[in-house]
């Protein structure tokens, strides 16, 4: 189904197609501003018609200010023999993200306070940033650190930190109603595959899927830097943010863990109930966790001044797996089949949400006579038709304008698709009327 919906010229399964895109974007050195974000969004424009927004440095966004733009061309550490022992060209994690430019000779002692490493994972390079305090540094493996001799080192970072812009991409799919579903993925991490690229690519493929439907809701996709990007968008769209009725932050969707959904601050919003229903019907091992004000951009959308119904869908949980924010979150950490499954689940969530309508029974006093409309099984016997008749009775009984398809599916312990199909048949017989909620 997915394969049919997503018409791409490149070959392979959908999971493999997504994986190829991730591989293409992996080497780019992204940050919260700069050309890495622009290149990434350009690649995504090959999939969906993103509109690119540039917000000037210095713009006030609530309590924050858009920082200077950072760009980097090269960086290395040479030992006293002139050998490059650390090279940005090999791995962009080597540079403390947002490092100011430097070209200097330092003793090992002087250098040490600018080095970051992970003694507990001696082969991995950590990912570190210093966005709001001007600094420079190198991230290296602990084994590299141990091999450093007491000599003089040449450090070079060819970066610029100067007035420029913060860049984000936005894609809006208008629906029958102006009520919006927000899908957002952060695009500020350099060569990290699961944290960042998996969420980006699943969101982009989900957008491709939805644009070919005629959805009930309007869908807004955001691809921007974490924290400051969400803050910028909310500040620039403050007056219309309440159009967002439901939302999901997408991240960490390429690994092999079961799914985790972090509920919105509201906790029992429609999106929370829909995702719980879909995840639990998919695999009882999938996990729901309560909102906490730490994590990804749900923090901003769920701040008390907005309190939007926005949760976060992931597989592994941020900061709770060893590869998190290290060079081990690389292309071998994610799997095409996991990306594919994440896309399928995301589509099911959005379709369930979109289909989750409420109805009014137009013949609410006693049961209507289903037999004369051909809706009642006259032969009887097979289990499917019995199930379907129960679905009809449940929909008629609970369609008092207050219960949605999901409410009825949960109450009756029946599949969502049966309840939806029953409602559609009753609509055709003029026994139901949709409650327009907007």
Query: Which residues are near its own copies by CB under 8 A?
Result: 61-64, 132-133, 227, 230-231, 234-235, 238, 265, 292-294, 299-300, 302-307, 361, 363-369, 371-372, 378, 390, 393-394, 396-400, 412
Q: Distance (Å, rounded) from C-alpha 115 to C-alpha 144?
A: 11
Q: Which of 221, 271, 278 is nearest to 250 (CA)?
A: 221
Question: How many whole angstroms from its chain centre is CA 334?
Answer: 15
Beta pairing, strands 180-186 & 218-224: parallel
| Residue 221: other Cβ atoms inside 10 A | 24
Closer to its own copies by Cβ: residue 79 or 363: 363
CB 350, min distance to its own copies, A: 26
Q: Distance (Å, rounded) from C-alpha 344 to C-alpha 347?
A: 5
CB 282, min distance to its own copies, A: 25
Q: Distance (Å, rounded) from C-alpha 407 to C-alpha 351?
A: 16
| Coil, helix or strand at residue 254 | coil
CB 254, min distance to its own copies, A: 26
CB 359, min distance to its own copies, A: 11
Closer to its own copies by Cβ: residue 129 or 346: 129
Closer to its own copies by Cβ: residue 133 or 149: 133
Question: How many whole angstroms from its chain centre is CA 187?
Answer: 10
CB 25, min distance to its own copies, A: 27
Closer to its own copies by Cβ: residue 151 or 400: 400
Compute CA distances 218 → 103, 175, 353, whole Å: 51, 4, 12
CB 217, min distance to its own copies, A: 24
Q: Which of 63, 73, 124 is nearest to 99 (CA)?
A: 73
CB 111, min distance to its own copies, A: 18
CB 133, min distance to its own copies, A: 6
Which DSSP letter does residue 214 get?
Answer: -
Are 407 and 399 in contact, with CB atoms under 8 Å apart? no
CB 233, min distance to its own copies, A: 10
Strands, E, within 180-289: which ranges? 180-186, 218-224, 244-250, 260-262, 287-289
Closer to its own copies by Cβ: residue 171 or 233: 233
Closer to its own copies by Cβ: residue 231 or 353: 231
CB 139, min distance to its own copies, A: 14
Closer to its own copies by Cβ: residue 71 or 387: 387
Query: Which token pair is 104?
Result: 């200097």
CB 140, min distance to its own copies, A: 18
* Phi-psi map region of 204: left, alpha, beta (phi>0 left; psi -120 to 50 alpha): alpha
**Which contiguous run of DSSP H or E holds residue 162?**
strand 152-162
Closer to its own copies by Cβ: residue 174 or 364: 364
Closer to its own copies by Cβ: residue 87 or 292: 292
Q: Distance (Å, rounded) from C-alpha 372 to C-alpha 392?
A: 14
Are 408 and 395 in contact, with CB atoms under 8 Å apart? yes
Closer to its own copies by Cβ: residue 254 or 368: 368
Q: In the chain, what is the greatest distance between 2 CA atoms, to the nearest angstrom?
A: 94
Are 85 and 144 in contact, with CB atoms under 8 Å apart? yes
Query: Which token pair is 24?
Result: 């293409």
Closer to its own copies by Cβ: residue 9 or 239: 239
Compute CA distances 37 → 384, 392, 402, whole Å: 51, 51, 45
């Amino acid at each position: 189904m997915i394969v049919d919906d997503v018409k791409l010229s490149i070959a392979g399964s959908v999971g493999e197609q997504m994986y190829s895109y991730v591989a293409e974007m992996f080497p780019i050195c992204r940050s919260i501003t700069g050309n890495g974000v622009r290149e990434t969004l350009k690649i995504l424009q090959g999939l969906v018609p993103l509109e690119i927004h540039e917000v000037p440095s210095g713009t006030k966004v609530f309590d924050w200010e858009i920082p200077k733009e950072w760009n980097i061309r090269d960086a290395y550490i040479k030992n006293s023999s002139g050998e490059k022992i650390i090279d940005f060209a090999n791995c962009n994690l080597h540079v403390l993200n947002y490092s100011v430019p430097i070209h200097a000779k330092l003793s090992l002692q002087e250098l040490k306070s600018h080095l970051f490493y992970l003694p507990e994972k001696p082969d991995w390079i950590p990912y570190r940033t210093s966005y709001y305090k001007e600094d420079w540094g190198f991230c290296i493996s602990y084994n590299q650190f141990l091999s450093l001799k007491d000599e003089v080192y040449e450090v070079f970072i060819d970066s610029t930190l100067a007035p420029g812009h913060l860049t984000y991409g936005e894609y809006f799919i208008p629906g029958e109603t102006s009520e919006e579903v927000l899908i957002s993925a952060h695009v500020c991490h350099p060569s990290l595959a699961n944290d960042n690229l998996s969420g980006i690519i699943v969101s982009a493929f989900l957008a491709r899927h939805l644009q070919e439907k005629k959805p009930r809701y309007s869908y807004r996709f955001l691809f921007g830097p974490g924290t400051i990007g969400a803050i910028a968008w909310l500040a620039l769209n403050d007056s219309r943010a309440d159009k967002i009725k439901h939302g999901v932050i997408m991240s960490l969707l390429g690994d092999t863990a079961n799914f985790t959904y972090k509920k919105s601050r509201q906790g029992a919003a429609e999106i929370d109930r829909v995702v719980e229903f879909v995840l639990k019907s998919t695999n009882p091992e999938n996990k729901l966790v309560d909102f906490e004000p730490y994590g990804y951009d749900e923090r901003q959308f769920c701040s008390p001044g907005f309190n939007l119904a926005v949760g976060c869908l992931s597989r592994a949980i941020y900061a709770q797996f060893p590869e998190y924010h290290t060079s081990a979150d690389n292309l071998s950490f994610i799997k095409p089949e996991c990306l594919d499954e994440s896309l399928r689940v995301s589509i099911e969530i959005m379709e369930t949400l979109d289909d989750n309508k409420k109805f009014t029974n137009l013949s609410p006093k006693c049961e209507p006579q289903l037999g004369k409309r051909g809706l009642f099984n006259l032969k009887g016997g097979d289990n499917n038709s019995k199930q379907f008749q129960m679905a009809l009775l449940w929909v008629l009984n609970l369609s008092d304008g207050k219960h949605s398809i999901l409410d009825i599916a949960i109450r009756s312990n029946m599949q969502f698709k049966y309840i939806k199909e029953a409602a559609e048949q009753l609509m055709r017989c003029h026994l139901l009327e949709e409650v327009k909620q907007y």
